[in-house]
Amino acid sequence: MRGSSVALWCAAAVACAGAAWAEDEGIRGFAPERVEAQRTIEEMLIGSVRRDRLRSFHEGLSSEPSPAGTEADLRKIRWLSKSFGEMGLEVEEHWIDVYLARPVTGEVEIVRDGTGEVSVGLSVQEGPIEGDPYLTDEGLDIGWSAYSGSGEVVAGVVYANYGRRQDFEALREMGVDVRGKIVIARFGGNYRGYKAKFAEEHGAAGLIMYTDPKDSGYVRGLMYPDGGWATPEYIERGSVKTLDYVGDPLTPGVAATVGAEVERLDPEELALPRIPVQPIGWGAAHEILSRMEGRVVPEAWQGGLPMNYRVDGGDALRVRLKVEQDRRIMRTANVVAILPGAKHPDEWVVVGSHHDAWTHGAGDPNAGTMIVLELARMFSERVRSGQPVQRSMLFACWGAEEYGIIGSTEWVEEHAEHLGAHAVAYLNLDMAAMGPNFRASASPSLRALILEASKLVASAVDPERTVYEVWSEQSGGTPGVRVLGGGSDHVPFLMHAGIPSMAMGGGGSSGVSYHSAYDNLHWYRKVVGDDYKPAEMIARVAAVALSRLANADVPALETGAYTEVVQEQLRSLSKMAEERGLSLDPEALSGALDELRSAHTGFFASEVNDEVVMTPALIGAERAWVEGPEPVERPWYRNRFIASDRDSGYASWVLPQLRGAIESEDQTMLDEELDELRTVLERMARVLREAAAE
C-alpha cells in the first residue's frame, strides 16, 4: 500500500497541512480503496438500530432492583450472559469477590425542638404513587448511603450547604462548631462521599443528606408523577466511599477475581466513614430545617424550601440518627461479550456500561446499558451477514459500579497487560440516553472521531438536522468535546491504564430520578420519553465511532491533539502557581510540545503505512502517560494527563501531578513533575518517530 499514505492520513475533516483531499473523499485512518466499503458499513449500522430492541433490552435490564451482590444481581448477570449468548457472541463472566455493603437500619427522628420533647419520625423510603407499579416492588431498599458507618447518635444539627470543602471552611469562619453535631447537607456540588469525609474530618457525629427543591423539586418544575422532578420523598442513594483508588476497597491495583490468590487489606484499616450517614427526602429535611433557630445562612446557601435557612439548629433542637449496615465481601461479576476481530484479533475496542443499580436503574445505568446490548446485537448481526470487523470488539456490562467503579476496575486490573499493549480505546455509555441533547467527553486523541461521527447521524431534537448541527447550535459555535470527569467505568481504563477513552450521551429532559426509587421505566417513559429516539441517536453515533476504530487500517488516535490541551492547562496552572507563591513557567514544555507536534506530523506525512507498526506506535504513544514512576500522591491514578479531582470526585484534573504539587505548595515536587511531563512528551514523540523511521 505504499503511496497511499497521504490519502490514509489526510482525508479527514481535521485539517492536514498540504493535503489536497476534501472531507468527503476519505475517512481518517482508512486507505482510499476501503473508504467506500466503510461508508456502506456505517450506513447499514445507522440503519440497523432498532428502537423496539432498545425498548425490549431496557425492559429486560430494568425489571427489578439489582444492587451489586444481591440475588437480583445474580439474576441480572445470568440474563446478560444469556442475552449476549443468543447473539452468537463469546461471553466471559468475570466473577469477583469484593468488599460491599448492605443496608440494615436507617432511622431519623426529631426528639426535641422549641416546643419541648417530641417524637417526629422521618421517612427514609419513597412511598407508593398511583400509576407507578415499580414503587411497591419488595426488592427496593430503604434510602441509604453505602459504606456509611454504623451507630446511633442524638445531637444538635448544623446546616452545611453542599458539604463541600469550602462550605466547612465557611462554617469555621462563621465560628460554627460542627464537633459532636449532626451535619445536614444538600446533595450537589460534589460527590456525596466527600460530604461524609469532610463532616467526619471536622468532628461531626453524623451526616444527613437530602435533595433540596432548589436543585431538584418544585423550584425546577413539576414533581413526579406530574413531571420529573423530586417529590418530597425523593431519596438519593449512593456510595460514600472516598479512597485514593477506585475498585474493590481491599485490593487496590490487583484483580479480586474469584479463585485468584489475592492479598487483601484489613477492612478495619480502610478510610471508610465511621460516622452514620443517612439520605432523606426534602419533605423530611424540611421538618428538621424549619425547626432550626440559629443565625441565618449566607445568601448562596439558601435553598428552595419555604423558609430562611439557618446554619445552626439552636440549643432546643435534637435529632436522633441511627444507621446500621453490613459491610462484607460479596460476589458479583462483569459480563463481557466478545466479537473477534478478523484481522487484528488482539487489538481491542471496548464499549461498556455497568449493570448494577440502586433501584430498577432505568436511567442509571440502563439508559446506557441497553445501548451496549443493542450495539452488540447490531455488530454481531453485521458479522454474521458477512461484514467482519477487523479488530476485536468487547461489549461489557460491569458489576458493582455504584459502590465505587468496582467491577470494571477489577477487570482492567485482571487484563492489565493485554490492555496496556493492545487496547485501542474505551467508550463508556453509563446513563447515555437521558434526553435528546447530544454531549460528549473524551481524551483529546478521540475528539475528532466523535465530531466526525456526529455529522452522520440525525438529531433526536430535530430529525431534519444532524447531531453535529444541533449540538453546534446549542453550543453557540463549534461543539466542545469536554474533558472526562470521574464517577464512572472509564476511570480505570483512562486514569489507571492510560487507554484513550470517551463517553457520550443525551440530556435535556425535565427531571431527575438519579439513585431514587423513581429510577424506573415508568419515570423514564414519562420524563425522557417513550419513543427511544435519544437511545437510537446515541447508538448510531457510537456505532459509527466504534466501527471506525475497529475497521480502520490504523485507528485515528490524534496524538497531536494533546499538545494544545497541555499548553492551555500549563498556562492556567502557571497562574494558579503564581497565586500561591510558586513558580511554573508556562512555556517550560514548549520544546517538547513542538517536538511532539512535529513527530505527529512527520509520522502522518511519512510513507509508513504498515499498520502492524503504526497501530502499536499510536497505542504506545498514548501509554507514555502511564509509564513514568508511580505518582507520589494517589499512585493508583497513574495517568499523568488526567485524574479524578481530589475534592469533588465528579470533576477531573488535567496534569494532576502538577495540580497536586501546586495545591500542596510544593515547589520541588512541581519541578520534578514538570520534568516527568517533559519525559512523557519526549517518549510520545520518540515512539512516533521510531515507527515512522521503520
What residue ranges bind a second copy (CB under 8 A)?
213-214, 217-223, 226-227, 232, 286, 296-297, 299, 302, 304-309, 510
Give the C-alpha separation, 67 to 89, whole Å: 26
E-assigned strands of 475-586?
Answer: 501-507
Task: For residue 384, give Cα distances in angstroms to 132, 378, 396, 563.
Answer: 40, 10, 20, 41
Q: How far is the CB of 285 from a second copy (least distance, A)?
A: 12
Q: Which is nearer to a second copy, 74 or 219 (CB)?
A: 219
DSSP string, 651-666: SEEESHHHHHHHHTT-
Q: How far is the CB of 75 from a second copy (least distance, A)?
A: 36
Task: For residue 451, give Cα distances in angstroms to 132, 441, 466, 472.
Answer: 39, 11, 11, 10
Give the C-alpha separation, 521 to 462, whole Å: 24
Asked if 406 contacts 247 with a C-beta cutoff of 8 angstroms, the reply is yes
Q: Which is nearer to a second copy, 296 or 693 (CB)?
A: 296
Nearest in space to 283 (alpha carbons), one of 112, 126, 513 = 126
505: cell is 450521551
Q: How far is the CB of 194 from a second copy (least distance, A)?
A: 26
Q: Which is nearer to a second copy, 305 or 484 (CB)?
A: 305
Q: Which is nearer to a second copy, 229 or 245 (CB)?
A: 229
Q: Which is nearer to a second copy, 268 or 299 (CB)?
A: 299
Task: For residue 74, give Cα distances in angstroms to 28, 200, 400.
Answer: 42, 34, 12
Q: Which is nearer to a second copy, 197 or 220 (CB)?
A: 220
DSSP code for 313: -
Q: How far is the CB of 181 from a second copy (least distance, A)?
A: 22
Q: Name the residue with cell 464512572.
A: 488
Q: How far is the CB of 135 from a second copy (least distance, A)?
A: 18
Nearest in space to 493 (alpha carbons), one of 485, 482, 483, 501 = 501
Q: Which is nearer to a second copy, 226 or 630 (CB)?
A: 226
Cα within 13 Å of Cα(287), Cβ side: 20
Asked if 193 contacts 242 with a C-beta cutoff of 8 angstroms, the reply is yes
Q: How far is the CB of 231 from a second copy (least distance, A)?
A: 9
Q: Which is nearer to a second copy, 144 or 309 (CB)?
A: 309
Asked if 388 contacts 450 with a C-beta cutoff of 8 angstroms, the reply is no
User: Which residues share a beta bridge with 353?
Assistant: 397
Q: How far is the CB of 524 from a second copy (least distance, A)?
A: 18
Q: Which is nearer to a second copy, 220 or 600 (CB)?
A: 220
Question: At residue 233, what is the residue type?
Answer: E
Q: Which is nearer to a second copy, 232 or 279 (CB)?
A: 232
Q: Which is nearer to a second copy, 85 or 128 (CB)?
A: 128
User: Which residues share a beta bridge with 257?
Assistant: 96
Q: How far is the CB of 306 from a second copy (least distance, A)?
A: 6
Q: How far is the CB of 295 from a second copy (least distance, A)?
A: 9
Q: Which is nearer to a second copy, 52 or 299 (CB)?
A: 299
Return all residues near 505 (Cβ < 8 A) that are at least 6 apart.
Answer: 367, 368, 429, 430, 431, 432, 433, 434, 438, 439, 440, 538
Q: Which is nearer to a second copy, 39 or 214 (CB)?
A: 214
The phi and psi torsions of 318 (rounded to 5 degrees) equal -135, 135
Q: How far is the CB of 265 from a second copy (least distance, A)?
A: 46
Q: How far is the CB of 174 from a second copy (least distance, A)?
A: 14
562: cell is 494533546
Q: How far is the CB of 314 from a second copy (least distance, A)?
A: 15
Q: Which is nearer to a second copy, 212 or 364 (CB)?
A: 212
Diameter over CA atoms, the chain: 88
Conformation bin of residue 504: beta by default, left when phi > 0, alpha when psi is -120 to 50: beta
Nearest in space to 547 (alpha carbons), one of 43, 136, 2, 24 = 43
Q: How far is the CB of 305 from a second copy (least distance, A)?
A: 7
328: number of Cβ within 10 Å: 11
Q: Name the residue with cell 499510536.
A: 618
**664 burial class (0-12, 13-18, 19+ CB within 10 angstroms)?**
middle
Q: How far is the CB of 464 from a second copy (least distance, A)?
A: 19
Q: How far is the CB of 238 from a second copy (least distance, A)?
A: 24
Chain centroid offset of residue 303 CA: 27
Q: Which is nearer to a second copy, 304 or 420 (CB)?
A: 304
694: cell is 521503520
Outline where 438-527 has alpha helix (H).
447-454, 467-475, 490-491, 521-527
Q: Which is nearer to a second copy, 149 or 228 (CB)?
A: 228
Task: For residue 347, give Cα distances in angstroms to 391, 418, 604, 680.
Answer: 5, 9, 21, 23
Chain centroid offset of residue 528 CA: 20
Q: Name the residue with cell 426535641.
A: 112
Give the C-alpha separation, 628 to 454, whole Å: 35
Q: How far is the CB of 680 from a second copy (least distance, A)?
A: 37
Return all residues near 218 (Cβ < 8 A) that are at least 6 apart.
Answer: 229, 304
Q: Which is nearer to a second copy, 187 or 218 (CB)?
A: 218
Report the interhelical angle of 366-384 vs 533-551 (nearest 10°).
50
Q: How far is the CB of 223 from a second copy (least distance, A)?
A: 5
